[in-house]
Amino acid sequence: MDLWIGAVNLGFLYAFMALGTFITYRYFNIADITIDGSFTLGAATGAILIVDGWNPFLVLPVSFLAGSCAGFITGFIHTRFKIDGLLAGILVMTGLYSVNLHVMGKSNIPLMNHPTFETVAAGINPGLHQELWTCILLLAVIIAVWLLLSAFLKSDLGLTMLATGNNPTMISAQGVSTNRMKMLGITLANGMVGLSGILIAQYQGFADIGMGIGSIIYSLAAVIIGQALFRTRKVWLAVMGVILGAVLFRLAVALALKSGFDPNDLKILTALFVLLTLVISKSVKSGTGQETRLKILVRKNRKLIISASILAILGWMIYLLAGSGTPLKTSEKKVRIGIVMANHSSVLTKTRDGFMTEMKNLGYVNGRNCLISELNAEGDIPANKSMVDKLIADKTDLFLSFSSASTQAVVNKVKNKPVVFATVASPFILGAGKTPIDHPANVTGVYGQAPVRDLLKILTKFFPGNVRIGTIYNPGFPNTRVNLGDLKKAVKDFPRITLVEMSVSGTSEVQQAAQSLASKGIQAFYLITDLTVFDAFESVLKVSRAGRIPIFANDADCLERGAFLVYGYEFYTSGVQAARLADRIIRGESPAGIPYEHYARCLLGVNRDQAMQFGLTIPDTLVKAAEATMYKNKYSKKTFRLPVRPTQGRVARIAVFQYTNSTLLNRSVQGLRDVLIREKYARGRKLDITFYDALGDYGTAQSIAKDIISKDFDYIATASTLAMQTLAAHNKKVPHVFCAVTDPLKSGVARSLEDHQVNLTGLATPQPVAATIHLMRTLLPKAKKVGMIWTSSEINSEICTKWAREACAKEGFILTEKTITSVGEVDAAVKSLISSGIDIFFMSGDVTVSQALPVLGRIMQDLKIPFFSNSADDINSGTMVSLGASYYDVGKKAAGILLGIMDGASPVDIPILIYVPQTLAINLALTRKFGISIPDSVLQKAVIKLEKY
């Protein structure tokens, strides 16, 4: 039933758009394609404001206005520059794509957890079925719109508009500027379209960059059906016809879905349908001239034909409705599983295959003990919603959604049946929950973001010097934007890598983008997970082969298709994981208790053939580690069996909290995470890990701490002093392991290494400040001034600075300090330091300053100021000498302590460990450039020797 009422509701909402097209098409004979963009613009503007806390009704006029602006521009271009209406529309529509992306800031805004007209309507629901209640309210609204618009079109101004389209010569002789009238009409029409956009966004629960594509055809179809229904010059009937047309069109789409129509064919069917109605209505209209017998026949029996077809459609619908009401008796005990997929890309197909195979392994046979129906939206975003409606109408018991777009549609609509998603980069940006455990009660699934940083690291092994890499992406996909963001962020930590980006809006543009990248002198392609680019992978491959530019990809399946090296999650396994989750739910487990799972298999694959062709050497370690190989034209892959999860013991829930997003803390958390993930998947330990990052904001840190405490985690791990302090202050109960802390004794959580807060233990990693300053003296005997920046609110920094003061006094340096309160002040502090004439720049343990590390590295290199720091990881970001811990090891060690506690150790019994996996890293290229000679005694100690910068 929901399918039909849902279709009627959609019809009502699309009617606003159709009425807009009615004005431009009927009045000015322009098929205004601007609406493809203004529809999204209305949705985008409204959605942004709703997220900002606006009332869902208050945003309606704003969206109307936004749409109007788009229309105004089209009108202006059309009338002032005398450019054909269709072309003007195409121009504005094309431009709006970028505008919409800017307005939204991303390609998808979820409105799930915000008030919409539907939630407001639900609040005053007298107890009716929700969809029906919405339908009744919308009917009232649409009647009001019908009366208002009809009245307007009947007014002096409305009639003048009609006359403008009907006879421009005449109306301009009557003193009317036809340009102005047309602009008014197109503006008004697009306002209606913008309104339709935000209404639909509210109804479907999100605004998406692609939601407007094809609007013109849908609304033309509605207008034309309306025209066929009432062949009249009575305005109020014509307007009603358009509204009915929009509803009938949506019903027809629902019907096509319901009757098991291949959604592949939906578009050509729509096109044919519009064409047919156009031809018929044209032949009826042309009363003059020669008429064929058929035309005359059609004309004379027009009413008969139309009523007969409407009757036939209605009859069919009633038949189907009656049919859907009574489920087949034979299938009563079979689980109905509905799968929604966004498109036919290889990523999703693999997911599906993995799912299907594993379901079979788990004993599910389609038709015998379950009924699986698959629907594919073929890239049409609104179609996802209709498919969900269809599955609901089919009384589906368990929903599966592969891809973000499908997941969003399913999660927004399905509230009381279990949902399992797979192959979603981040369910959280879709509005499906905040963390892997804090999610809607009926939803669970498999997700994960590509291991971008790791692949970049592998890539640098092939290019010892500076390297330019190029990436291609389609900003239209929410996942892509996330992945690209990750890549851009990760690249910052690799000063030798320069990233060149190229965006495309469709598969046809991929080859040109690849060629353009090649012409910009890139040495490698880096392909993030992007459905468009993967679909057109062969285009990139062509350019890759021609220019001997290897392809590095985050998609494991690309190896077989010709990529040079892949490192990424395997989506087949994602499907397998989804099947396991589905199995658990079918067996009676509640999705509420099943945390979102991260992808289980990360696959490294190398193409040894191509290495020979391109003249690249694959390090032996990589060849050995590779689970997939392309060698002598044969693709081989090690089989992987997803470990069966132990059935006993409860899941341990761990919160991992880092204060900010700096290299040091990221490395710590990475070490920690890698150990835990390995435990989880390789050893089958039941873990749910939730990651928190306060992004350097004290207030956020406070709320995160409260959140972690309120969620009753079993274990807590923190990275950085501030994160430890914030949590330790409130949490005296849950076991807590900290790391990346300079001096826990000074931070108030312990009196001595043994005597500490009972629930807390961890690693103290004091920076070897004195040793570093001694090293400065050894390397730079003539230097006088050492400059340092530190954040006054960081206790760890204060400690390091104190040590630095003592050491400088001892070694005969003058220490110049600048204090800051936020990362924004680093720039000014550096300038002031430099102007005071420093010989050495020193950074030690300061989390805030380390956020600016790559920039600092570059500045110091340019000014030839030797840069010393206290974390070996910093060497990749431009320091000259770094002496200190490798924080990845610190994180791993902390994870070890955590695992010990899980196995029964009590934190109170574990003393705080002073752990400095001290590593000396030197950038030899820089020391040579600066003319600094390194004594052999020092050189021998260096673990990392960088030869390039």
If binding is defined by CB under 8 A, does position 175 make contact with another protein?
Answer: yes
Of 164-172, 635-643, 712-720, 838-846, which part binds another protein (CB under 8 A)?
164-172
If binding is defined by CB under 8 A, does position 289 make contact with another protein?
Answer: no
Binding to another protein in span 312-351, by CB under 8 A: none
Kind plus residue range of the DSSP H or E element containing 86: helix 85-104
If binding is defined by CB under 8 A, does position 160 make contact with another protein?
Answer: yes
CB of residue 191 to another protein, shortest distance in Å: 15
> Which strand ranges, in their side-by-side order, compose the sheet holding 652-658?
687-693, 652-658, 715-719, 736-741, 760-764, 913-914
If binding is defined by CB under 8 A, does position 190 make contact with another protein?
Answer: no
Q: At what angle do helices 2-22 and 215-229 cross, to 10 degrees?
A: 90
If binding is defined by CB under 8 A, does position 233 make contact with another protein?
Answer: yes
CB of residue 76 to another protein, shortest distance in Å: 16
Which C-beta is closer to another protein: that of 141 or that of 159?
Answer: 159
Q: Work out which of 34, 40, 150, 178 binds another protein, going by CB under 8 A.
A: 178
Of 161-169, 298-306, 364-372, 636-644, which part binds another protein (CB under 8 A)?
161-169
Q: Work out which of 1, 58, 143, 170 binds another protein, going by CB under 8 A.
A: 170
Of 61-69, 169-177, 421-429, 494-502, which part binds another protein (CB under 8 A)?
169-177
Q: Work out which of 119, 167, 301, 822 binds another protein, going by CB under 8 A.
A: 167
Closest CA to 76 of 85, 66, 63, 64: 85
Q: Work out which of 53, 169, 325, 639 binds another protein, going by CB under 8 A.
A: 169
Binding to another protein in span 524-543, by CB under 8 A: none
Total residues at the site for another protein (CB under 8 A)?
Answer: 23
If binding is defined by CB under 8 A, does position 463 make contact with another protein?
Answer: no
Return d(Cα 459, Cα 551) in angstroms, integer. Answer: 10
Q: Report which DSSP code applies to 750.
A: B
If binding is defined by CB under 8 A, does position 232 make contact with another protein?
Answer: no
Contacts of residue 750, defined as CB under 8 A and 6 or more positions apart, other chains included, come to 744, 756, 757, 760, 912
If binding is defined by CB under 8 A, does position 281 make contact with another protein?
Answer: no
Which C-beta is closer to another protein: that of 179 or that of 918?
Answer: 179
If binding is defined by CB under 8 A, does position 308 make contact with another protein?
Answer: no
Q: How does DSSP assign 700-719, residue by residue?
A: HHHHHHHHHHHTT-SEEEEE
Structure tokens at 223: 């207008």
CB of residue 178 to another protein, shortest distance in Å: 7
Determine how many CB atoms are found less than 10 A away from the CB of residue 483. Answer: 23
CB of residue 60 to another protein, shortest distance in Å: 20
Q: Write the binding mask 918 to 937 for another protein: x where contact by CB under 8 A, - elsewhere.
A: --------------------
Structure tokens at 479: 């996942």
Q: What is the distance of C-alpha 738 from the center of its chain? A: 31
Return d(Cα 28, Cα 8) in angstroms, integer. Answer: 28
If binding is defined by CB under 8 A, does position 82 make contact with another protein?
Answer: no
Of 40-48, 156-164, 617-625, 712-720, which part binds another protein (CB under 8 A)?
156-164
CB of residue 80 to another protein, shortest distance in Å: 12
Q: Work out which of 35, 44, 109, 171 binds another protein, going by CB under 8 A.
A: 171
Which C-beta is closer to another protein: that of 153 or that of 672?
Answer: 153
CB of residue 468 to another protein, shortest distance in Å: 52
HSE on the CB side for 263, CA within 13 Å?
24
CB of residue 232 to another protein, shortest distance in Å: 11
CB of residue 161 to another protein, shortest distance in Å: 9
* First-to-last C-alpha distance (Å) of the chain: 65
CB of residue 32 to another protein, shortest distance in Å: 20
CB of residue 190 to another protein, shortest distance in Å: 18
Which C-beta is closer to another protein: that of 177 or that of 309?
Answer: 177
Q: Work out which of 55, 94, 119, 155 binds another protein, going by CB under 8 A.
A: 155
Question: Where does 746-794 have alpha helices with state H?
Answer: 769-779
Closest CA to 404 of 560, 524, 530: 530
If binding is defined by CB under 8 A, does position 173 make contact with another protein?
Answer: yes
Return d(Cα 938, Cα 944) in angstroms, integer. Answer: 12
- Decide if 259 contacts 320 (C-beta within 8 A): yes
Structure tokens at 821: 């309160």
CB of residue 152 to another protein, shortest distance in Å: 6
| Cα→Cα distances 599→449, 455, 569, Å | 9, 16, 6
Return d(Cα 566, Cα 301) in angstroms, integer. Answer: 65
If binding is defined by CB under 8 A, does position 650 make contact with another protein?
Answer: no
Of 171-179, 266-274, 613-621, 795-803, which part binds another protein (CB under 8 A)?
171-179
Q: Work out which of 65, 159, 855, 905 binds another protein, going by CB under 8 A.
A: 159
Of 154-162, 387-395, 505-513, 783-791, which part binds another protein (CB under 8 A)?
154-162
CB of residue 167 to another protein, shortest distance in Å: 4
Binding to another protein in span 94-153, by CB under 8 A: 152
Determine how many CB atoms are found less than 10 A away from the CB of residue 268. Answer: 9
**Overall residue count recorded for the chain in this entry:** 949
If binding is defined by CB under 8 A, does position 157 make contact with another protein?
Answer: yes
Residue with tokens 């220490």: 815
Return d(Cα 573, Cα 307) in angstroms, integer. Answer: 53
Amino acid at 851: Q
Q: Strand, coil or helix: what is 206?
A: strand
If binding is defined by CB under 8 A, does position 172 make contact with another protein?
Answer: yes
- Decide if 219 contacts 245 (C-beta within 8 A): no
| Cα→Cα distances 82→28, 77, 85, 92, 747, Å | 14, 7, 9, 15, 72
If binding is defined by CB under 8 A, does position 156 make contact with another protein?
Answer: yes
Return d(Cα 436, Cα 420) in angstroms, integer. Answer: 13
Gyration radius of the chain's alpha carbons: 32
CB of residue 179 to another protein, shortest distance in Å: 9
Residue numbers of the site for another protein (CB under 8 A)?
A: 152, 154-160, 162-163, 166-167, 169-178, 233
